[in-house]
């Protein structure tokens, strides 16, 4: 595999020529809400462990 063919394949992949990368079942609102809930849970756990100080 030469450098020019590798560069061409990477440029094709970066331009979205291989499908775009998004999946139909991934709802961005659901993923964002899940991340927010996970972070709030971690914050609650951290606060509850630091109350004794």
In a domain, 3, yes or no: no
pTM above 0.75, yes or no: no
Q: Is the torsion defined by CA of 8, 9, 15, 19 positive or negative?
A: positive
In a domain, 45, yes or no: yes
Please state, in angstroms and rounded to a whole number, the distance separating the CA atoms of residues 51 and 49: 6
| pLDDT surpasses 90 at 18 | no
State the total domains in the chain: 1
In a domain, 12, yes or no: no
| pLDDT surpasses 80 at 29 | yes
For the chain, the distance separating the N- and C-terminal CA atoms, rounded to the nearest angstrom, is 61
**Which residue range is the domain that position 42 belongs to?**
23-53
pLDDT at 42: 97
Please state, in angstroms and rounded to a whole number, the distance separating the CA atoms of residues 39 and 28: 16
Q: Which two tokens stand for residue 28?
A: 């961005």
Give residue 45's pLDDT band: very low, low, confident or very high (50, 70, 90): very high
pLDDT at 25: 78
Question: What residues have CB less than 8 Å from 18, skipping those under 6 apart?
Answer: 12
Lowest mean pLDDT among 15-19, 20-24, 43-47: 15-19
């Amino acid at each position: 595999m030469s450098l020019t063919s590798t560069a061409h394949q990477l440029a094709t992949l970066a331009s979205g020529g291989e499908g775009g990368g998004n999946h139909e079942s991934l709802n961005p609102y659901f993923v964002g809400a899940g991340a927010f809930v996970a972070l709030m849970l971690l914050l609650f756990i951290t606060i509850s462990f630091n109350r004794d100080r």
